[in-house]
Copies of this chain bind each other. A is one copy, B any other.
Amino acid sequence: MAAELAQIEQAEIAEIIDGKGIADSIHAEVKNEAEIFNRTYGRFPGLAFILVGANPASQIYVRNKGKACAATGIYSVTDTLPEDITEATLLARIDELNADDTIDGILVQLPLPKHINEEKVIERISPAKDVDGFHPISLGRLMIGADTMFPCTPSGILELLKRSGVKTEGKHVVVVGRSNIVGKPVANMLLQKKKGANAVVTICHTGAPDVAVFTRQADILIAAMGSPESIRGEHLKQGVVVIDVGMNRIPDATTKSGTRLTGDVHFASAREIASKITPVPGGVGPMTIAMLLKNTVKAAMLRKNE
């Protein structure tokens, strides 16, 4: 009983995992590494963005990534290409960037216009420059536990856990959501026989008759299904670590804009149960760009050492 009370008391002060702060430390590390790279090789690591069309969200994403490069000493270029560009022209542009020795990473901002085959475009990027980690060869290497370019949000999640002192070894991680950019790769990374992984992993999704059966078992819950505030405190086990990957804009009459940003987890109720929890915004979000910068430096170093 005393132990139970102590546990509840502890739960009441669920620690917030400061993704923004951790991302800032990574930016500082990248800045230092980029500087060393420049001193050694006479140029800064280079990242090329390809932005097709005028999708406003994509424009903002690329602009923010570009700013992060500028702030950390990564040389970046943005190719803005017209909406009606042919697939062949886009592929030819990727070939040029693959061959460009000043470019270490290539990021094609998704989604692409419907007339272009995304899979084909991603597979055209040289795996050595695949800083998004979306090339199937990167994902296949990830699956077998080899070193590779790891996709940014999943590796950001592992980094958040590590830098918050959360041990994953032998823990039961429950991943809700099976997207190709988060759920599937993060599940595969966490089950590897490696330090900072070695977890039992359950991946559940809309196909499950009752997701709560699984979320209630989680020692570490990763919510990445894109459904606002749908995991609540009552779906969780006391002391769970909650990583909320959701980014949903929902109506909120109390704000000036009439909307607010929220995760896939109902923060207030989950915080009463969890031992640690990421906020939205300021949790997983900032880690994605931080890991993109890390990948760019890694790609630059590997290209020099191959």
Contacts and interface: CB of A to CB of B under 8 A. Distances in A.
A180 B140 CA distance: 10
Interface string A175-218: 00010100011011001110000111111110111000010000
What is the copy number of this chain in the assembly?
2
Nearest to A179: B144
A188 to B, nearest CB: 7
Given A136-B144, A139-B143, A200 B214 contact: yes
Given A136-B137, A138-B140, A139-B139, A191 B205 contact: yes
For chain A, the bracket of interface size reads 35 or more
Secondary structure call for the A interface: mixed
Contacts of A119: 146
Contact of A202 (B140, B188, B200): B200
Contacts of A170: 207-209
A267 to B, nearest CB: 25
Interface string A129-166: 00000011111111111100000000000000000000
A169 interface: yes
A143 B209 contact: no
Given A205-B200, A214-B200, A135 B140 contact: yes
11 contacts: A136-B139, A137-B137, A143-B180, A143-B184, A144-B184, A169-B207, A198-B207, A200-B202, A200-B205, A202-B202, A202-B203
Interface of A: 119, 135-146, 169-170, 172, 178, 180, 184-185, 187-188, 191-193, 198-205, 207-209, 214
Given A136-B140, A139-B144, A202-B202, 6 more contacts: A135-B140, A136-B146, A137-B140, A140-B142, A144-B180, A170-B209
